[in-house]
Structure 1
Amino acid sequence: MTKYNWGMIGTGWIAHEMADALNAVNGEIYGVSDMNAEQMAKFAAEKKIQHQFKNPTDMINDPNIDVIYIATPHTYHYQYIKEALNAGKNFFCEKAITVNAEQFDEVQKLAADRHLILTEGFTLLHMPLYKQVKQLIADGKIGQVKLVQVNFGSLKDYDPKNRFFNKELAGGALLDIGGYATAFARSFLAKQPTNILTTVKYFETGVDEQSGIILKNDDEQMAVMALSMRAKQPKRGVISGTKGYVEISNYPRATEADITYTADAHTQTTDKIVAGDDTKALQYEVADMQKYIDNGHDDGQLALSRDVAHILNDVRNDWGMKYPFE
C-alpha cells in the first residue's frame, strides 16, 4: 500500500481517534489545521504530526498533501470539500458529508470530474463483518429480504448551546446519527426507497430531537428506523427475509452477527458470524481509503452515500424543516 500525506482539519474527539488510526495504518500524518493554535499545537505534539496550519486553506494548497480529512461541524464540510477537490486533493469526510442533497450532488460530480476519491466516514461500510453478511444474503441463506429494522438512540446531555442542538450548525439527530441508521438500511435494500412516511419531535432549539421513519422501495421492501438524541437505544439492526433473519448489535462497528434460520413457521436454527475488531474501525476506514486512491475508484461507497444523502433530504422535506443557511 502506498503511503500518503494526510492533512487533518479539526482536532475534536473523533479526530484523536482518526489520528491514531492514521499513525497505525499510514505510519505518519503530514499536517493538521485548527483555528485554536494552542489546541492544535497540543494535538500535533501528541499525535506526532509534522506540520501545523492555522488556516485550512493553506494546508489544502500545500503541494505535498494527498488527502484531506475533516472532523468539524457539518456546516463546514461542503466548503472545504470543494476547496480540496479543486486543489486536486482526495477527501475523507466525517458524516454527514453535506447538509443536503444539492450540496452532495455537486461535490460528487466535482470528485468524478477531477478523478479524485471522496469518501464519507460510515464505519459500517468498512467493517469486515459486512462482507460476510452480504455474501450470506446474496447466497439466499435468509431468502428474499423483506424488512430492515434499525435503531440509534444517543442520550446527549441537556445543553441547548451544544452543537448537537444548534440549528445554525445543522444539529439534530437526523444528520448526527441518522446517517448511520440510513446507511445500514440502504445497504440491505435492493433499490433506493421511493416512499417515505415519517414523524418528528423537535427539541426546543428547533432541531429534530427524535423521529420515526419508514422507507419502502419499488420491490416492496421496507425499512423502519427510530432515532433519538435524548433517549438511549441499543444500536441494533435486523435484516429479515423469507427464510430467516440476521441481527447485528452495535452495527456501526459490528464484529458479530447472529443468524436465525426459519425454514418454516415452527422450526428455527441459529448460527453466528464473527469478523473484525471494533477497536480498529477507523483503521479499516483509512486502509480502504488508501486502497481506493491506489485503485483510482471506490467500491460503491460514494454511490451509497449519495442514496443516504437523498433519503435524509427527503425526510427533512417531509418535515418541512430547513436550516437557517439553506
Structure 2
Amino acid sequence: MKEAGHRPIKWGIMGTGTIAEQFAADLSHTSNGAAYAVGSRKPGNAALFAAQFGIPRAYGSYMELVNDPEIDVIYVATPHRYHLENALNSIRAGKAVLCEKPVTVNSRELELLISAARERRVFVMEAMWMRFLPPMQKAKEWVRAGRIGEVRLVQAEFGIMADWDPEGRLLSPELAGGALLDVGIYPLSFASMVFGAQPREIYSHARIGRTEVDEQFSALLTYDSGQVASLHGAIRLGMRNEAVIHGTKGCITLPSMNKAPSVSLYEGGKLVETYGDDRLGKGYEYEAEEVGRRLLAGQTESGIMPLDESLRVMEQLDTMRAQWGLRYPFE
C-alpha cells in the first residue's frame, strides 16, 4: 500500500539480469516507490523486461535512462567493472543512485564516487541488501542492548558452488569476478556492522583459479579492542552461509546470513528468542524502502549503510587483494 501525501519515488532500473529482476519484483512491495523505466544496452532485453514487470518505459541505452527527467533514482545492476561509470553518469544527470554491491571495484574508485555525490549533493547508497532486513536490524539491536555481553568474536561465511563458466561474470577478471567482491563482501560487511571499526590487522589467503580470480578465501581480522572476525567466502565451494556473533553472555545466530529470514538469541547456552520477518518478496524491498525514505526526507545518505562504511569495507577488500597479488586487468 502506497503512503499518502506524496507521489511515489520513480525508479529507473539499469540492467536486466537476475538481480535486476528480483529487485523489480520487490519494488511492488514498497510503500514509497515504483519501477518507472528500465535501461539495457540491448533494446530487446529492455522491452522484454518492461513487459514482464509492467514498467512504463524501456530504453535501449543507459544514457537514455539516466537522462529521463521523470526518474528520481537509478538502481545500478550492471557488472562490477561498470558500477563507477554507470553511477557517475547517473549523478551527473542529477539522479539519486542505489548501486549494487560492491559499489565500486576498489577504494580509489569509491573515493571518486563519494566526492561526486557529495559535491552535487546527490543521494548514493550501496545496495548491501542484507543490512536492511529486519532480522539483521534485530541482531544489531541485541548487540547494542548488551544482550550477549561484550562481543569478542564474529564468524561468517558465504560460499556457492557456481557452475564452471570461464566466460561468465563470476570467473572473469575483465568483469572484476571472484569470490571476494561477489560473495565475500557479505561477511566483510557483516563484521563491519558488528564492530563498527577498521580492523588493526588483516590476515588472509585465497585460492586463485585458472581464470586468475579468487575462487575461495579465508580471512582473520583483528581489532584494537582484541575482537576477532573469522570470515570465509567462495564461488566454487558451497558453504552453510551462517553468521554467529559471540559475546561473553551468549551468542546471536543467523542461519542464512545474506537472506537473514530469522535471527536467534542464546543466553547462557539457551535459546531465549527467535525473530523473523513477514517479507512479501525476496527482501530487496527493505533497501528500496530505505532509499525512498531518505529521498523524501531530503537526505543524501543512509544512516544504515553510509558511504564512509562502504569505503571502510572497500579498503579491506583492497588490502586482501593486495596480499594475494590480485589486480584486475583494467585497474
Under TM normalisation by the shorter chain, which class is it?
over 0.9
Aligned to 2:106: 100
Aligned to 2:296: 294
Aligned equivalents of 2:195, 2:316: Cα separation in 1: 13
Aligned to 1:112: 118
Q: Which of the numbers 16, 20, 27 marks the counterpart of 1:15? A: 20
**Counterpart AA for 1:271:** V
Q: Is the 2:131–2:137 contact (alpha carbons within 8 Å) kept by the matching residues of 1?
A: no
1:244 matches 2:250: yes
* Structure 1 residues 202-254: Cα deviation after superposition (integer angstroms, max 9, x where no partner): 11010000011111121121101111111100110010111111111111121
Q: Is the 1:191–1:219 contact (alpha carbons within 8 Å) kept by the matching residues of 2?
A: no
Aligned equivalents of 1:194, 1:113: Cα separation in 2: 31
Shift of 1:280: 4.4
Aligned equivalents of 1:182, 1:12: Cα separation in 2: 25
Aligned equivalents of 1:281, 1:208: Cα separation in 2: 28
Aligned to 1:312: 317
Aligned length: 321
Aligned equivalents of 1:104, 1:49: Cα separation in 2: 30
* Structure 1 residues 25-58: Cα deviation after superposition (integer angstroms, max 9, x where no partner): 2563221111122222111111111112111112
Aligned to 1:270: 271
Shift of 1:273: 2.5
Which stretches in structure 2 are left out of the alignment for 5+ residues?
Answer: none
* Structure 1 residues 149-190: Cα deviation after superposition (integer angstroms, max 9, x where no partner): 001111000111111100000000001101111111111114
Give the direction of change, closer, same or farther, for the CA distance of 1:16–1:96 in structure 2 (3 Å limit): same
Could you say what secondary structure the match of 1:125 adopts?
helix
**Counterpart AA for 2:62:** P
* Structure 1 residues 280-309: Cα deviation after superposition (integer angstroms, max 9, x where no partner): 411111111101112214214123222211
1:230 matches 2:236: yes
Aligned equivalents of 1:275, 1:69: Cα separation in 2: 27
Aligned equivalents of 2:166, 2:85: Cα separation in 1: 26
Q: Which of the numbers 176, 181, 193 marks the counterpart of 2:182? A: 176
Shift of 1:94: 1.1
Give the direction of change, closer, same or farther, for the CA distance of 1:172–1:280 in structure 2 (3 Å limit): closer
Aligned equivalents of 2:178, 2:137: Cα separation in 1: 31
Report the TM-score, using the length of structure 1 for normalisation: 0.94
Q: Is the 1:243–1:261 contact (alpha carbons within 8 Å) kept by the matching residues of 2?
A: yes
User: Sequence identity of aligned pairs in percent?
Assistant: 33
Could you say what secondary structure the match of 1:69 adopts?
strand
Report the TM-score, using the length of structure 2 for normalisation: 0.93
Give the direction of change, closer, same or farther, for the CA distance of 1:90–1:74 in structure 2 (3 Å limit): same
Q: Is the 2:151–2:246 contact (alpha carbons within 8 Å) kept by the matching residues of 1?
A: yes
Q: How does 1:1-326 map to 2 (within 5 A)?
A: 1=3, 2=6, 3-25=8-30, 26=32, 28-262=34-268, 268-277=269-278, 279-295=281-297, 296=299, 297-302=301-306, 303-326=308-331
Which stretches in structure 1 are left out of the alignment for 5+ residues?
Answer: 263-267
Q: Is the 1:129–1:273 contact (alpha carbons within 8 Å) kept by the matching residues of 2?
A: no
Could you say what secondary structure the match of 2:138 adopts?
helix
Shift of 1:135: 1.8
